[in-house]
Structure 1
Amino acid sequence: MKMNDEFISTTDLDWFATFYDGNLAHFATGGTTTLPKKIVDSIKNYEEIYDYFFTLNSRCNIEIIENNLPEFINQIKREQYLANYIDIASKGLFSYDINYENNSYFLVAKPLNPLTIQELSNNIKEIIYTLPKEIKSGSANITKYE
Protein backbone atom coordinates (compact mmCIF):
# COMPACT_ATOMS: atom_id res chain seq x y z
CA MET A 1 0.00 0.00 0.00
CA LYS A 2 1.18 3.51 -0.88
CA MET A 3 1.35 6.50 1.51
CA ASN A 4 -1.21 9.18 0.73
CA ASP A 5 -0.43 12.89 0.46
CA GLU A 6 -2.36 13.83 3.61
CA PHE A 7 -0.43 11.31 5.72
CA ILE A 8 2.92 12.49 4.30
CA SER A 9 2.22 16.19 4.80
CA THR A 10 0.95 15.83 8.37
CA THR A 11 3.53 13.40 9.74
CA ASP A 12 7.19 13.96 10.63
CA LEU A 13 8.47 10.84 8.91
CA ASP A 14 11.87 9.29 9.52
CA TRP A 15 13.16 7.56 6.40
CA PHE A 16 16.38 5.71 5.79
CA ALA A 17 18.72 5.19 2.86
CA THR A 18 22.13 3.94 1.92
CA PHE A 19 24.80 6.05 0.31
CA TYR A 20 26.40 4.57 -2.79
CA ASP A 21 29.53 3.74 -0.71
CA GLY A 22 27.45 1.61 1.70
CA ASN A 23 27.17 4.00 4.66
CA LEU A 24 23.66 4.66 5.94
CA ALA A 25 21.56 7.77 6.47
CA HIS A 26 18.47 8.86 8.38
CA PHE A 27 16.24 11.76 7.27
CA ALA A 28 13.50 13.58 9.22
CA THR A 29 10.90 15.17 6.93
CA GLY A 30 9.42 17.56 9.48
CA GLY A 31 5.98 17.08 7.93
CA THR A 32 7.16 18.03 4.45
CA THR A 33 6.63 15.90 1.35
CA THR A 34 10.38 15.78 0.73
CA LEU A 35 11.03 12.07 0.40
CA PRO A 36 11.78 9.64 -2.45
CA LYS A 37 9.01 8.01 -4.45
CA LYS A 38 10.34 4.57 -3.45
CA ILE A 39 9.64 5.39 0.21
CA VAL A 40 6.13 6.69 -0.57
CA ASP A 41 5.29 3.62 -2.66
CA SER A 42 5.33 1.09 0.19
CA ILE A 43 4.08 1.63 3.73
CA LYS A 44 5.01 -1.98 4.50
CA ASN A 45 8.67 -1.47 3.51
CA TYR A 46 8.78 1.91 5.28
CA GLU A 47 7.54 0.37 8.54
CA GLU A 48 9.89 -2.61 8.30
CA ILE A 49 12.93 -0.38 7.79
CA TYR A 50 11.77 2.10 10.46
CA ASP A 51 11.30 -0.67 13.04
CA TYR A 52 14.66 -2.19 12.16
CA PHE A 53 16.67 0.98 12.70
CA PHE A 54 14.80 2.18 15.78
CA THR A 55 15.43 -1.14 17.55
CA LEU A 56 19.20 -1.12 16.93
CA ASN A 57 21.45 -0.51 19.89
CA SER A 58 23.92 2.35 20.12
CA ARG A 59 27.33 1.37 18.78
CA CYS A 60 29.52 4.47 18.59
CA ASN A 61 30.25 8.02 19.56
CA ILE A 62 28.97 10.80 17.36
CA GLU A 63 29.84 14.28 16.20
CA ILE A 64 27.25 17.06 16.15
CA ILE A 65 27.61 19.36 13.15
CA GLU A 66 27.43 22.63 15.07
CA ASN A 67 27.64 24.87 11.98
CA ASN A 68 24.43 23.33 10.61
CA LEU A 69 22.31 23.74 13.74
CA PRO A 70 19.59 26.34 14.12
CA GLU A 71 19.76 28.75 17.04
CA PHE A 72 18.07 27.69 20.27
CA ILE A 73 16.54 29.86 22.97
CA ASN A 74 18.10 27.71 25.69
CA GLN A 75 20.03 24.50 26.39
CA ILE A 76 16.86 22.51 27.11
CA LYS A 77 15.47 23.29 23.63
CA ARG A 78 18.81 22.33 22.07
CA GLU A 79 18.87 18.99 23.90
CA GLN A 80 15.24 18.25 22.95
CA TYR A 81 15.98 19.01 19.31
CA LEU A 82 19.16 16.92 19.20
CA ALA A 83 17.89 13.86 21.11
CA ASN A 84 16.57 11.88 18.11
CA TYR A 85 19.52 12.80 15.87
CA ILE A 86 22.04 11.77 18.52
CA ASP A 87 20.18 8.50 19.11
CA ILE A 88 20.19 7.63 15.41
CA ALA A 89 23.79 8.71 14.80
CA SER A 90 24.96 6.62 17.77
CA LYS A 91 23.54 3.60 15.93
CA GLY A 92 25.93 4.35 13.07
CA LEU A 93 23.79 6.45 10.71
CA PHE A 94 24.37 9.94 9.34
CA SER A 95 21.34 11.87 10.62
CA TYR A 96 19.68 14.72 8.67
CA ASP A 97 16.94 17.27 9.30
CA ILE A 98 14.88 19.21 6.78
CA ASN A 99 15.53 22.83 5.80
CA TYR A 100 12.02 24.26 5.39
CA GLU A 101 13.22 27.19 3.30
CA ASN A 102 14.40 25.09 0.35
CA ASN A 103 13.27 21.52 1.17
CA SER A 104 16.83 20.26 1.33
CA TYR A 105 18.34 18.13 4.09
CA PHE A 106 21.23 19.16 6.34
CA LEU A 107 23.49 16.96 8.43
CA VAL A 108 22.86 17.26 12.17
CA ALA A 109 24.92 14.40 13.60
CA LYS A 110 27.30 11.83 12.20
CA PRO A 111 28.64 8.56 13.59
CA LEU A 112 32.33 8.15 14.31
CA ASN A 113 32.00 4.45 13.41
CA PRO A 114 29.40 4.26 10.60
CA LEU A 115 27.14 1.27 10.16
CA THR A 116 27.26 -0.09 6.60
CA ILE A 117 24.78 -1.85 4.39
CA GLN A 118 26.89 -5.02 4.61
CA GLU A 119 25.98 -5.24 8.31
CA LEU A 120 22.21 -5.15 7.72
CA SER A 121 19.87 -8.13 7.55
CA ASN A 122 19.22 -9.42 4.02
CA ASN A 123 15.57 -8.33 3.96
CA ILE A 124 16.54 -4.73 4.83
CA LYS A 125 19.36 -4.76 2.25
CA GLU A 126 16.83 -5.70 -0.42
CA ILE A 127 14.32 -2.91 0.30
CA ILE A 128 16.36 0.07 1.53
CA TYR A 129 16.52 3.06 -0.78
CA THR A 130 19.91 3.88 -2.37
CA LEU A 131 20.73 7.56 -2.74
CA PRO A 132 22.08 8.78 -6.11
CA LYS A 133 25.78 8.11 -6.71
CA GLU A 134 26.67 11.82 -6.72
CA ILE A 135 25.55 12.23 -3.08
CA LYS A 136 28.61 11.53 -0.98
CA SER A 137 28.53 9.86 2.39
CA GLY A 138 28.17 12.46 5.13
CA SER A 139 27.40 15.36 2.78
CA ALA A 140 26.63 18.48 4.81
CA ASN A 141 23.60 19.32 2.62
CA ILE A 142 21.51 17.21 0.28
CA THR A 143 19.28 18.98 -2.21
CA LYS A 144 18.58 16.18 -4.70
CA TYR A 145 17.90 12.75 -3.29
CA GLU A 146 16.24 11.06 -6.26
Structure 2
Amino acid sequence: MAFFAYFSDGKFAHFATAGQEDVPDKFRNPLQGWDVVHDFFHALGASYGFDIVEKNVPACETEAQWESYLKSFASMASKGFFSCDFIGGLIGW
Protein backbone atom coordinates (compact mmCIF):
# COMPACT_ATOMS: atom_id res chain seq x y z
CA MET A 1 0.00 0.00 0.00
CA ALA A 2 1.25 3.48 -0.74
CA PHE A 3 0.02 6.96 -0.04
CA PHE A 4 0.93 10.38 -1.32
CA ALA A 5 1.27 13.76 0.33
CA TYR A 6 1.34 17.31 -0.99
CA PHE A 7 3.25 19.87 1.04
CA SER A 8 2.54 23.60 1.25
CA ASP A 9 5.86 24.35 -0.49
CA GLY A 10 4.64 22.51 -3.61
CA LYS A 11 6.53 19.26 -3.13
CA PHE A 12 5.00 15.80 -3.42
CA ALA A 13 5.95 12.72 -1.44
CA HIS A 14 5.35 9.01 -1.90
CA PHE A 15 5.28 6.74 1.14
CA ALA A 16 5.39 2.95 0.85
CA THR A 17 4.15 0.68 3.62
CA ALA A 18 5.88 -2.56 2.55
CA GLY A 19 2.50 -4.20 2.11
CA GLN A 20 1.59 -3.69 5.77
CA GLU A 21 -1.19 -1.21 4.97
CA ASP A 22 -0.08 0.81 7.99
CA VAL A 23 -1.54 3.98 6.52
CA PRO A 24 -2.12 6.91 8.89
CA ASP A 25 -5.80 7.55 9.70
CA LYS A 26 -5.64 10.93 7.96
CA PHE A 27 -4.99 9.11 4.67
CA ARG A 28 -7.24 6.10 5.29
CA ASN A 29 -10.65 7.78 5.05
CA PRO A 30 -10.31 9.47 1.67
CA LEU A 31 -9.49 6.24 -0.18
CA GLN A 32 -12.34 7.00 -2.55
CA GLY A 33 -10.65 7.94 -5.80
CA TRP A 34 -7.29 6.67 -4.57
CA ASP A 35 -6.93 4.38 -7.57
CA VAL A 36 -7.26 7.32 -9.96
CA VAL A 37 -4.53 9.26 -8.15
CA HIS A 38 -2.32 6.16 -7.94
CA ASP A 39 -2.73 5.40 -11.65
CA PHE A 40 -2.07 9.02 -12.62
CA PHE A 41 1.18 9.23 -10.66
CA HIS A 42 2.39 5.84 -11.88
CA ALA A 43 1.70 6.85 -15.50
CA LEU A 44 4.01 9.88 -15.27
CA GLY A 45 7.26 9.58 -17.17
CA ALA A 46 10.65 9.45 -15.50
CA SER A 47 12.14 12.95 -15.73
CA TYR A 48 14.36 13.34 -12.68
CA GLY A 49 17.60 11.95 -11.34
CA PHE A 50 17.70 10.85 -7.73
CA ASP A 51 20.02 9.67 -5.00
CA ILE A 52 19.60 6.61 -2.82
CA VAL A 53 20.46 7.10 0.84
CA GLU A 54 21.95 3.64 1.30
CA LYS A 55 22.24 3.88 5.09
CA ASN A 56 18.41 3.95 5.18
CA VAL A 57 18.00 0.81 3.07
CA PRO A 58 17.48 -2.38 5.08
CA ALA A 59 20.13 -5.05 4.79
CA CYS A 60 19.48 -7.42 1.90
CA GLU A 61 21.12 -10.77 1.33
CA THR A 62 21.35 -10.44 -2.46
CA GLU A 63 21.56 -7.74 -5.10
CA ALA A 64 18.20 -8.94 -6.45
CA GLN A 65 16.53 -8.34 -3.06
CA TRP A 66 18.10 -4.87 -2.87
CA GLU A 67 16.86 -3.98 -6.36
CA SER A 68 13.39 -5.37 -5.64
CA TYR A 69 13.12 -3.35 -2.41
CA LEU A 70 14.16 -0.11 -4.14
CA LYS A 71 12.06 -0.54 -7.29
CA SER A 72 8.97 1.46 -6.23
CA PHE A 73 11.05 4.13 -4.48
CA ALA A 74 13.25 4.61 -7.54
CA SER A 75 10.22 4.72 -9.82
CA MET A 76 8.52 7.46 -7.82
CA ALA A 77 11.75 9.41 -7.20
CA SER A 78 12.40 9.48 -10.97
CA LYS A 79 9.01 11.21 -11.31
CA GLY A 80 10.01 14.00 -8.92
CA PHE A 81 8.64 12.61 -5.65
CA PHE A 82 10.42 12.37 -2.34
CA SER A 83 9.95 8.64 -1.79
CA CYS A 84 10.48 6.75 1.45
CA ASP A 85 9.38 3.85 3.63
CA PHE A 86 6.61 4.23 6.21
CA ILE A 87 6.93 1.40 8.70
CA GLY A 88 4.98 1.21 11.95
CA GLY A 89 4.03 4.86 11.82
CA LEU A 90 7.65 5.96 11.39
CA ILE A 91 9.03 7.54 8.26
CA GLY A 92 12.26 5.83 7.26
CA TRP A 93 14.77 8.43 6.18
TM-score range, shorter chain: 0.7 to 0.9
For residue 88 of structure 1, what is the amino acid of its counterpart?
A: M
1:34 is aligned, of 23, 26, 34, to 23
Deviations 1:50-96 (A, max 9, x none): 11101111011110011111111011110111111101100000111
Instruction: Provide structure 2 residue ranges, at least 5 long, that are not aligned to the other structure.
Output: none
Please state if 1:104 is matched with 2:90: yes
Q: Structure 1 residue 35: deviation in Å?
A: 2.1
State how 1:121-140 maps to structure 2 within 5 Å. 140=93
Please state if 1:22 is matched with 2:17: no
For residue 58 of structure 1, what is the amino acid of its counterpart?
A: A
Q: Secondary structure of 2:70's partner?
A: helix
Contact 1:29-1:35 at 8 Å conserved across structures: no
Give TM-score scaled by structure 2 length: 0.86
Higher relative contact order (CA 8 A, sep 6+): 2
Contact 2:15-2:84 at 8 Å conserved across structures: yes
Q: Structure 1 residue 44: deviation in Å?
A: 2.5
Instruction: Provide structure 1 residue ranges, at least 5 long, that are not aligned to the other structure.
Output: 1-12, 107-139, 141-146
Larger Rg: 1
Contact 1:59-1:92 at 8 Å conserved across structures: yes
d(CA) in 2 for partners of 1:83, 1:93: 14
For residue 79 of structure 1, what is the amino acid of its counterpart?
A: E
Q: Secondary structure of 1:105's partner?
A: strand
The corresponding residue for 1:60 is 48
Percent identity of paired positions between Structure 1 and Structure 2: 30
